[in-house]
Amino acid sequence: MNSGGMMSQNVALWVFACLVISCIFSCTPHYSPKPRGYFRIEFPAKDYRSFSSSCPFVFAIPAYASMEPDRSADAQPCWTDIWFKQFNARIHLSYISIEGKAHFNELVEDARTFAFKHTIKATAIDQQRINRPADHVFGLLYEISGNTASNIQFFVTDSTHHYLRGALYFNEKPRLDSIQPVLDFIRADIDTIIHSIRWK
């Protein structure tokens, strides 16, 4: 074989090798991780009805929620849950009759302790004052950001006789990115509950 034929054979081999190498790099699919997807949630229309019982308070609850008695071992007569079956969530409500100034201060401090107990996993805790003097309704609402067991807690009181504490819980592992739309939806319901509370 002459040198010209040998050279053209080497060029052909070199071109073939380049094609194979380029195909390896360009034909291999590149994997990029996709963000976790969640089912689309259909929210019901906002609608409320009045809730009243033998307990010394009334308020409006969403029509798509139901009231259930608190079945925990230490539950007291006016402890109840607002159950959001569609969202697998509930607002625990505990009512306590105030017995003097010292007892009132203790209840307020307990509410703060319960809220700040989530500090380890919380990214922020915002407090909003509740002030409805015409109805003798005062208190604080805690918004707890992050993957915590409870993202919203509150208490309302008239400072002398009545104290009602609420805490929202989802019956699933805390994952804020998946529950955020539902959390925002129920947050509006909590505002309605707080602004509709009346003492008997």
> What SS3 string covers 91-145?
EEEEEEECCCHHHHHHHHHHHHHHHHCCCCCEEEEEEEEEEEHHHCEEEEEEEEE
What average pLDDT is seen over the chain? 86
pLDDT at 17 over 70: no
194, 154 Cβ separation under 8 angstroms: yes
Q: How far is CA 129 from CA 143, 154, 157, in A?
A: 11, 10, 12
- Residue pair 155/139 in contact by the 8 Å Cβ criterion: yes
Task: Please check the confidence at residue 28 and state whether its pLDDT lies above 80.
Answer: no
CATH code, domain carrying 176: 3.40.1000
Domain range enclosing 133: 48-199
Q: What is the pLDDT of residue 36?
A: 56
Number of domains in the chain: 1
Domain assignment present for 23: no
In angstroms, the CA 88 to CA 49 distance is 20
Q: pLDDT tier at 7 (50, 70, 90 boundaries)? A: low
What is the spatial distance between Cα 200 and Cα 89, in angstroms, rounded to a whole number? 28
d(CA 96, CA 85): 26
Answer whether residue 76 is part of any domain: yes
How far does Cα 80 stand from its chain's mean position?
A: 19
Q: Is residue 158 part of a domain?
A: yes
Residue 141, pLDDT > 60, answer yes
Residues 142, 154: contact at Cβ < 8 Å?
A: yes
Q: Which residues pair with 129 in a beta bridge?
A: 140
Q: Does 57 map to a domain? A: yes
Cross-strand bridge partners of residue 164? 95, 156
Considering only residues 64 and 31, tell me which one the structure prediction assigns the higher pLDDT.
64
pTM for the whole thing?
A: 0.77
Asked whether residue 111 is domain-assigned, the answer is yes
